[in-house]
Structure 1
Amino acid sequence: MAQRKGCLIGCGIALVLGVGALVALFFGASKVLDVADKTLLDPKVYEEVRVGDAEAEVRAKLPSGDTFVKDVLREGGPAQPAGSVCAWYLSAAEGKTEDVLRFCFKDGRLAEKAQYRME
């Protein structure tokens, strides 16, 4: 009887750990998809916007960029223009996902755009 009880306990623990692993896998996959949805940008968008364009027009073409990887994308890039607010994205070009596309806005206009390789 004790041996059977030990087996049931072991199976219960295995079941809990398995469910926990599935939950962690699902959570991790949803975070990756969330980051991709909010930070990947088609390079065509980068090419078509011009310095001086209205901020509202440019931002309407961009994903939100609001993810935990934003701080990582800032590193290694050129200095941010004084008084500007910038947004960072990853290039969605095939094989170029380490390229960062940065847009800086000042006084309601696109003040600068920069493309650089993530370090």
Structure 2
Amino acid sequence: MAQRKGCLIGCGVALVLGVGLLVAVVFGMGKVLDMADKTLVDPTVYASVQTGDAESEVRSRLPSGESFVKGALKEGGPAEPEGSTCSWYLSSGDTKNGKETVLRFCFKDGRLAEKTEYPMG
């Protein structure tokens, strides 16, 4: 009887750990998909906008950019133009030299003041 009780406890613990692992995997996949939805920009969108374009027009073509990876995207890039507000995204195109490409859009006075691409640091 004691042996059966021990087996039941062990199976219960394994079941709880398995369910916990499954929840963690689903949560992690959700975060990755959320990040992709909010930070990936097609290189054709980057190429199609020009400095001087209206900020509202450019932003309408971009995802929100609000993601947990935003801080990492800022690292290693050139200095932001003074008085501008910038948004950072990942290029959905191919990597260059094994590194993801960061696309930065900076706005000032309602216009696209600068667009920059650089390898993720």
Task: Tell me the TM-score normalised to structure 2 length.
Answer: 0.95
**Contact 2:95 2:101 (8 Å CA) reproduced:** no
Tell me which residue corresponds to 2:72.
Answer: 72
Query: Is 2:107 the counterpart of 1:105?
Result: yes
SS in 1 for 2:56: helix
Give the Å deviation of 1:26. Answer: 0.3
**Contact 2:39 2:65 (8 Å CA) reproduced:** yes
Tell me which residue corresponds to 1:95.
Answer: 95
Using the alignment, how far apart are the partners of 2:85 and 2:73 within structure 1?
14
Give the Å deviation of 1:38. Answer: 0.7
> Could you list the per-position Cα deviations for residues 64-93 of structure 1 after superposition, in whole angstroms to 9, with x for gaps in the alignment?
111010000000000001111100010111
Give the Å deviation of 1:95. Answer: 3.4
Structure 2 alignment gaps of length 5 or more: none
Query: Is 2:89 the counterpart of 1:86?
Result: no
Structure 1 alignment gaps of length 5 or more: none
> Could you list the per-position Cα deviations for residues 23-73 of structure 1 after superposition, in whole angstroms to 9, with x for gaps in the alignment?
000000010111111111001111110101110000000011110100000
SS in 2 for 1:62: coil
Summarize the alignment of residues 8-47 of structure 1 with structure 2, pairs less than 5 Å apart.
Answer: 8-47=8-47
Tell me which residue corresponds to 1:49.
Answer: 49
Provide the identity percentage. 71
**Contact 2:88 2:104 (8 Å CA) reproduced:** yes
Q: Which moved more, 1:92-101 or 1:80-89?
A: 92-101
What is the RMSD of the two structures over their aligned residues, measured on CA atoms?
Answer: 1.0
Task: Tell me the TM-score normalised to structure 1 length.
Answer: 0.97
Q: Which runs of 4+ in 1 moved over 6 A?
A: none
